[in-house]
């Protein structure tokens, strides 16, 4: 049952990434919601399931399924000037999952891991962009002006939205249980139940004293 549920979540978030890829503003490097979907997937799943979701998305696009921005697919998209950013997507879940292992599920760690994962994705995409454009002289600063700087504000908003949305969703006990994550409410109630006998003894003693 757990294995089936894991497969369902992997398929669900793979589909979410593909759908968000089509919400786009076309430019040299298009503005999309792909990274938002990846942030949300990892923040919700927090383990190998998120990594598989991103890897499967990239694989589907590489073999020709039109899941990349603009309903594009095929190895040619990965080999293009912007293909490094798609390949760099895989670095985001790796960094985020590592942070969750080290710092558990603290919200600051989630936000910081998204920032670091995104920076690595920027680096991978920018280096790839520069290699493709070696036919003409282009400085690293020029690459940053094309590949990174225009996206900083938009990507910051995606990180904030992903952190807030995932935190709100994971406060719901049913969601946490279905994702096989520790249920805060269950832990709180268990703690309260352990404290109850002590409280009852105190009340009984007070009533006897009266």
Q: What is the pLDDT along the chain (210 residues), one digit of tens a residue?
A: 778 888 999 999 999 999 999 988 877 677 899 999 999 999 999 899 999 999 999 999 999 999 999 899 999 999 988 899 999 999 999 999 999 999 877 889 999 999 999 999 999 999 998 887 665 678 888 888 888 999 999 999 999 999 999 999 988 877 777 777 765 544 544 454 454 444 555 455 555 555
Q: Which two tokens stand for residue 124?
A: 């991978």
Looking at residue 50, what is its pLDDT? Answer: 94
Q: What are phi and psi of 67, to 5 degrees?
A: -105, -10
Supply the pTM of this predicted model.
0.82
Q: The domain at 2-184 falls in which architecture?
A: Orthogonal Bundle (1.10)
**Pick from 66, 55, 64: nearest CA to 14:** 55
Distance CA 127, CA 119 (A): 12
CA-CA-CA-CA torsion sign (131, 133, 134, 137): negative
Looking at residue 82, what is its pLDDT? Answer: 85
């Amino acid at each position: 049952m757990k294995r089936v549920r894991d497969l369902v979540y992997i398929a669900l978030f793979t589909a979410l990434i593909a759908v968000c890829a089509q919400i786009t503003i076309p430019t040299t490097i298009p503005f999309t919601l792909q990274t938002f979907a990846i942030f949300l997937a990892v923040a919700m799943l927090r383990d190998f399931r998120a990594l598989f979701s991103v890897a499967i998305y990239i694989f589907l696009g590489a073999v020709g399924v039109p899941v990349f921005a603009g309903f594009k697919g095929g190895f040619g998209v990965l080999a293009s000037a912007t293909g490094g950013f798609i390949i760099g997507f895989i670095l985001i879940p790796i960094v985020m999952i590592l942070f969750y292992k080290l710092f558990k599920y603290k919200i600051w760690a989630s936000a910081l891991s998204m920032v670091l994962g995104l920076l690595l994705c920027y680096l991978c995409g920018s280096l790839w962009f520069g290699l493709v454009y070696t036919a003409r002289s282009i400085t690293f600063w020029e690459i940053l002006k094309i590949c990174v700087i225009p996206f900083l504000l938009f990507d910051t908003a995606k990180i904030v939205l992903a952190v807030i949305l995932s935190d709100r969703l994971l406060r719901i006990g049913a969601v946490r249980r279905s994702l096989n994550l520790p249920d805060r409410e269950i832990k709180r109630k268990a703690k309260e139940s352990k404290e109850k006998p002590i409280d009852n003894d105190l009340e009984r003693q007070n009533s006897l004293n009266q």
